[in-house]
Structure 1
Amino acid sequence: MSVNNHREAEERFGAYVDGLSSVIGHPRRRRQLRDYCTGLVLPGERKSVEPLAARTDPARTAAQHQSLLHFVGNACWSDEDVLAKVRQMVLPALEKDGPIEAWIIDDTSFPKQGKHSVGVHHQYCGQLGKQANCQVAVSLSIASRTGSLPVDYRLYLPETWAKDRARRKKAGIPKEIKFKTKPEIALDQIRRACEASLPRGVALMDAAYGRDARLRAGMSELNVSYVAGIVPTILMWGPGAGPRRMDKPMNNTGRRDEPELVTAKTLALGLPKLEWCTVKWREGSAEQLTSRFARVRVRVGSNKLIPEKSSAEWLLIEWPKSEAEPTRYWLSTLPETISFTRLVDLAKLRWRIERDYQELKQEVGLGHYEGRGWRGFHHHATLCIAAYGFLVAERATIPPSGPRCAPPLPAPRLPDDYRPRGSALAA
């Protein structure tokens, strides 16, 4: 990058942090905010507080360490206000080459060795692909065709933590935080996005969330369309079938006998060959990808079998020719008139959240926070999302070459020797 480009990047970064400073509160915090965000976007393998202090004020590392530690772990500034400001400033860059198309629900995990960090528990760790000691956070991201940004982020608090008063007090968990499942947290995030009037997108989620009927129903009540991954054992009525009369007696399993109810897998295996089509879509900067899909209109079964809650929706199935059976299933409340290609394209857009988490962890140190408290965990994540937002906006300044798909970060960033002006004065 040229000297002029470096200078321009510094100026844009300064203006960006100034915008964030407007919602951070006390003037002293503005300097700490600038230094912390600077440390996150500067090169470096480790981005916990001490290395950030060494990068941003090497002449006064110990004092800077204490200053940043207080700012991220103890200072009472609002994560919600900062994230809202990030959205406001980054949204124009996300929409530069096309509208917001998706709201993506997912979670990410952070392996931990000890047992004292807030929310740490032996649970499924996606990063390791197995049960392990870790923290898990649920997020909601908004995505256009060329970029994405997390807009809500909350630690999942296991029930054992939620009920342990001593651990709650030590970790500084607010009294209003109660136990909620991950799908319940996700629905809260969807609800807040609606209340904030964010540009609407189709909600995308994997089967860990899509299998939750209450989450799907909650989104429908909010008029949020979805393409939700599901497990193949979910029961449904195929085309032309549906729930029967409510006065039919239940059997000994608690479900009324419904001979037409079948699993998604059974329905998929019974589809005629003519229903399967090869569909192309584009993912990231790669060439077009192809696979074999089928889609049918179905109604999902429920124990109560209330007809008005069994509206017709799409069942989308992927069955690559190289596989012995279908590999993926989705339910979608998108209109019956949506094209086959568009339905597949939206289902596959969920890849953006994987890119988000990869870059948040590798580029700005999302998983590097070493504190144990609730406030510090969320403050660090908020600042990482803020730093990531700057990089997303910077990426939007790069002229596209070829098909306009999101290149991986890093985008143009601050030079290695950049230091915040006045950092030696930071207390």
Structure 2
Amino acid sequence: MGNLAEFDRYIEYLCVALDHVDRNVGLQDYCRGLMLPIQRKSVEPLAAHTDPLHVAAKHQSLHHFVAKAGWSDSAVMSRVRDWVVPHLGLDSGCYWIIDDTGFPKKGTHSVGVARQYCGQLGKQDNCQVAVSLSLASVQGSIPVAYQLYLPKDWASDPVRKKKAGVPDGMTFATKPEIALAQMREALASGVPMGVVLADAGYGDETAFRDGITELGMLYAVGIRPGTTVWAPGTAPLPPKAWSGRGIRPTKLRREPGHQPVTVKALAMDLPQQVYRTVTWREGSNTELSSRFAAVRVRPAHRDYLGTQMRPEEWLLIEWPEGEAEPVKYFLSTGPSDATLEQLVFVTKMRWRIERDYQELKQEFGLAHYEGRGWRGFHHHATLCIAAYAFLVAMRLSQSNSKKNRAQPETPSLPKDYVPRGSRTSAAPRG
């Protein structure tokens, strides 16, 4: 294939992060296998298709590389990021997208597995969940940080953690806390600042939004309908006047008849003429558009415990034509003179992470890892992202390419090959 030489150069670039030369072949074969057009991309099928004549030996080698070898995920991810970033065109707009993704799992032994919300299934179920930070532009996007969420039951069980190889000192952290840690590490490593985008699972956390502001970045994040704000033109009352006796009052106040409102109540009370149809991008078959309104508000979460009013922010409301009520709400610290079209465009940039996860799972086997340990879970994800990143870079450097031009052909399997775990009488795979 025409781009094999470029792929080899890319792999050599990543191998610098492995520290040991004897690991280079493992990275090369694993990434090459992930790019093959095969249905299942766990260790055994990768071994069978990258070295059909020595499946058992290759399986043992790849399993050790992904599940046991002590190379650094962050070091490889840094090389991946540095390879792709020059192609993203971040000068025209940089976005940091926070999200998580779930992997349905059976049993209780896989690291981090618990009954929790799984986005892939759209309900509570037995699954693993990982939090990611992606770097995006109008041209493309790529995950640059990825970490398994460890539920409280796991984080407080030293026996299970040790058996699964969870690093020493790993304690419970909420998903927003994990995301903030990822952002701090990204800034420390020199990643360009961008506007932070996240759904309501993150944006509804006041501490998460405050953390972004403390890092010096703007945000446009989803919130839930019950989030409270001070309507335009209103604010918490100042502290009570000091009587001259006792401690001087310093806390902001609320009183009957002077209270914050939910964003849903505020949206329903707005005149219908403030809602306008905005188109933000072209979809696969038609332009994507909806009705929006934007007003300046002050977030009200527990401000009665504070001494200073929160600054005004944008409340962006999406109310599609024909719906009985608004469907989405966002808070944004974008400039006060931002237009409605700008607010909508920036907020809707979060769609890129959905496409990334779709391709990572469907084309690169992100959900196919069958091991149970912490190291293997993260190593497999890092290698999936590394393989996907090469495709992203190729697409961006060849703007007319929408296919994986660098996808290698699948080697033929021996006629007597039988997948591990199959009956010996099973038909061989071609």
Q: Tell me, yes or no, if structure 1 residue 223 matches structure 2 residue 235.
A: no
The one-character-per-residue Cα deviations of 1:22-54 (angstroms, maximum 9, x if unpaired) are 111111101111011110011101000000101
Aligned-partner residue type, residue 269 of structure 2 = G
Which residue in 2 is equivalent to 1:393? 393
Match of 1:204 among 191, 197, 201: 197
Larger CA deviation: 126-135 vs 198-207: 198-207
Alignment of 1:146-295 (within 5 A): 146-247=139-240, 256-257=254-255, 259-283=258-282, 285-295=284-294
Contact 1:238/1:260 (<8 A) preserved: no
User: How much does 1:274 deviate?
Assistant: 2.8
Q: In the alignment, residue 281 of structure 2 is paired with which amino acid?
A: R
**Secondary structure at the counterpart of residue 183 of structure 2:** helix
Measured after TM superposition, the shift of residue 165 of structure 1 is 1.1
Q: Does 1:134 align with 2:152?
A: no
- The alpha carbon displacement at 1:263 in A equals 0.6
Q: Partner of 1:28 in structure 2?
A: 22
SS at match of 1:65: helix
Deviation digits for residues 75-129 of structure 1 (CA, Å, limit 9, x no counterpart): 0100000000000011112228x64421100000000011100000001111111
* Counterpart-to-counterpart distance in 1, 2:47 and 2:253: 61
Q: Which runs of 4+ in 1 moved over 6 A?
A: none
Residue 372 (structure 2) pairs with residue 372 (structure 1): yes
Q: What secondary structure does 2:3 align onto?
A: helix
Q: Compute the TM-score of the two structures, normalised by the length of structure 1.
A: 0.90
Alignment of 1:276-425 (within 5 A): 276-283=275-282, 285-305=284-304, 306=306, 308=308, 310-400=310-400, 410-417=403-410
Q: Cα distance, 1:195 vs. partner? A: 1.5
Amino acid at match of 1:358: Q
How far 1:256 sits from its partner (Å)? 4.2
1:102 aligned residue (89, 95, 99): 95
Q: TM-score when scaled to structure 2?
A: 0.90
Deviations 1:137-192 (A, max 9, x none): 00000111121000000000000000111101100101121100111111111111
Asked whether the 8 Å contact 2:222–2:329 carries over to 1, the reply is yes
1:49 aligns with 2:43: yes
Aligned identity (percent) is 54
Please give the root-mean-square deviation of Cα atoms over the aligned residues, in Å: 1.9
Distance 1:414 1:344 in 2: 36
**274-283 or 173-182, which deviates more:** 274-283
State the one-letter code of the partner of 1:13.
F
Alignment-derived partner of residue 62 in structure 1: 56
Q: Which runs of 5+ in 1 are unaligned?
A: 1-5, 402-406, 420-427
Letter of the structure 2 residue corresponding to residue 341 of structure 1? E
- Structure 1 residues 115 and 231 mapped into 2: Cα distance closer, same or farther (>3 Å)? same
Q: Could you say what secondary structure the match of 1:368 adopts?
A: coil
| Structure number with larger C-alpha Rg | 2
Answer yes or no: is the 8 Å Cα contact 1:226–1:332 preserved in 2.
yes
Per the TM alignment, residue 376 of structure 1 is displaced from its structure 2 partner at its CA by 0.5
Tell me what 1:422 maps to. Answer: none
How far has the Cα of 1:415 moved from its partner? 2.7
Contact 2:35/2:408 (CA < 8 Å) preserved in 1? Answer: no
